[in-house]
Structure 1
């Protein structure tokens, strides 16, 4: 019987990396320069929001009336506002508020909209009719006007502004999920799951919801940018964050009468809003290009 010799110095073939949809998406995402730039901007503002108390040179509520409307200098990098408060400090803390409103309002909209959209799309009939009419009613109003009306009823505050933004954006996610569920519920694997006796709730959470995540992720990312703008608009109108909270929209509102005398009081909060929204828009467009099969070559 012949002996088999093994050469210990022989090269062992490297194990190939197992491909997967999310791994392929991450590879494609890294090649998308605009998406990477958007993600970098978002990460920068998230870091700023997290470490604001550590790097802020002053208390955002501290007033120095003797230093009101000071131009940018080595002491006050972004200058001061009409009450002598350090603008650099207030912009740093403003990132916390804007990102907090953006993330949590979208989470609320996504959860409520996804639940209603799945119910309407999967069960249809009267459930679809009632939920679709609810969406139509909410969409009949301009989103900012409806948000203003809700805040006017609940009372001006940052928390109520968050609630109003979440409510007005529910139909966006609800209709998106409803359309996706309509296209999924007649697929063969859903029919097979029903045939073997799988319960509706298990089908929804095991098959329908996971396969509906792609459009939700893309729209949610873009929705954060919209929520930040809406929060700034409510703050500008005095219906969002209340003094002395350093919300960017409120800072613009308080400084609009000083545009010619002290333009820096408007420039820095405005640029912060612009960069944050730009970051989420770039990231959302990149995710759409990566995750949407129709966008692939």
Structure 2
């Protein structure tokens, strides 16, 4: 190449080297901007594609959404009051009473769909309380260690030493029967599950290089804990929360069946099963439909939880 060409200038007064340098900077800027834009959208797109492809997660979410809609639209779906009585005692399912009536002449369909409100409400607040308190204790135990870890871990061990339903019965017996006390008992017995899960996740994440770098630059422990460690430990907690929701529904129904949960005339599914025991042969529909409601609710949350576990587990990705 001739020296004149190397040192030549174009009509804009720029040398050939300057033009080439500007072109390289422009191309580099294009290359740098494009991947950042794609990377921001990729995780959400990947999750949605995996969620739609996962049959169990999709079916579970559909069941849960239907239950939520039924609970919200309960006054629209029926013209009866859940506590209204009639002279049609233990009437079989008919066009007037889709699920029949119970021993007091109350419409079973109305009580089942209103019972969805109670079960979802108990499950949501019980699991939320367990996640909040259990995750906080697990964060403290895993991050700081030492005597804090010892005390919190022994507290978890004490709670786990008792069967869950027996511990819930003992707590409700002390507090007194009632739906709110049953909610508190269910939240307490599930605290160790989330606490130990969070603790193990924190012990793993806090040894990562980005946490060590944050410590090296003098970042405060509180910022490291809530801005770096907690977001990276949230996935297993979310998966466990969906599975624990199903467990909370069963525990609430068990306490209601024993007369320690929701009190009459509240249309709680476990209480409905307990009231229908004497009529299992003469009016089996009074037990079948509340039992099916419990089964579908638990099935929906279990399918969703299993699906989320498979989606978030990197070993399941090809």
For Structure 1 versus Structure 2, the TM-score category normalised by the shorter chain is over 0.9
Cα distance, 1:149 vs. partner? 0.2
* Unaligned 5+ runs, structure 2: 1-9, 12-33
The structure 2 residue matched to 1:61, chosen from 72, 83, 97, is 83
Cα distance, 1:21 vs. partner? 2.5
1:140 aligns with 2:161: yes
The structure 2 residue matched to 1:40, chosen from 59, 62, 71, is 62
The Cα offsets for residues 194-247 of structure 1, whole Å up to 9 and x where unpaired, read as 111111111111101100110001000000000000000000000000000000
Cα distance, 1:20 vs. partner? 2.9
The structure 2 residue matched to 1:22, chosen from 31, 44, 53, is 44
The structure 2 residue matched to 1:86, chosen from 107, 112, 119, is 107
Aligned equivalents of 1:20, 1:138: Cα separation in 2: 42
Aligned pairs for 1:139-218 within 5 A:
139-218=160-239
Secondary structure of 1:122 counterpart: helix
State TM-score, norm by structure 1: 0.93
1:71 aligns with 2:92: yes
State TM-score, norm by structure 2: 0.87
Native 8 Å contact 1:25 1:290 kept in 2: yes
* Unaligned 5+ runs, structure 1: 3-14
Secondary structure of 2:276 counterpart: helix
Q: Partner of 1:6 in structure 2?
A: none
Structure number with bigger Rg: 2
The Cα offsets for residues 73-131 of structure 1, whole Å up to 9 and x where unpaired, read as 01100000000000000001000000001111000000000000000000000000000
Aligned equivalents of 1:122, 1:132: Cα separation in 2: 13
Q: Partner of 1:130 in structure 2?
A: 151
Aligned equivalents of 2:210, 2:164: Cα separation in 1: 38
1:287 aligns with 2:308: yes
Cα distance, 1:17 vs. partner? 5.3
Aligned equivalents of 1:270, 1:28: Cα separation in 2: 32
Native 8 Å contact 1:52 1:92 kept in 2: yes
Cα distance, 1:26 vs. partner? 1.8
The Cα offsets for residues 273-293 of structure 1, whole Å up to 9 and x where unpaired, read as 000100000000000000111
Cα distance, 1:24 vs. partner? 1.2
Native 8 Å contact 1:214 1:292 kept in 2: no
Cα distance, 1:53 vs. partner? 1.4
Cα distance, 1:55 vs. partner? 1.5
The Cα offsets for residues 121-177 of structure 1, whole Å up to 9 and x where unpaired, read as 000000000000000000000000000000000000000000000000000000000
Cα distance, 1:294 vs. partner? 2.4
Aligned equivalents of 2:127, 2:155: Cα separation in 1: 19
The structure 1 residue matched to 2:53, chosen from 31, 51, 60, is 31
Aligned equivalents of 1:32, 1:245: Cα separation in 2: 37
Aligned equivalents of 1:25, 1:199: Cα separation in 2: 32
Native 8 Å contact 1:38 1:279 kept in 2: yes
Aligned equivalents of 1:26, 1:175: Cα separation in 2: 29
Native 8 Å contact 1:105 1:163 kept in 2: yes
Aligned equivalents of 1:56, 1:246: Cα separation in 2: 14
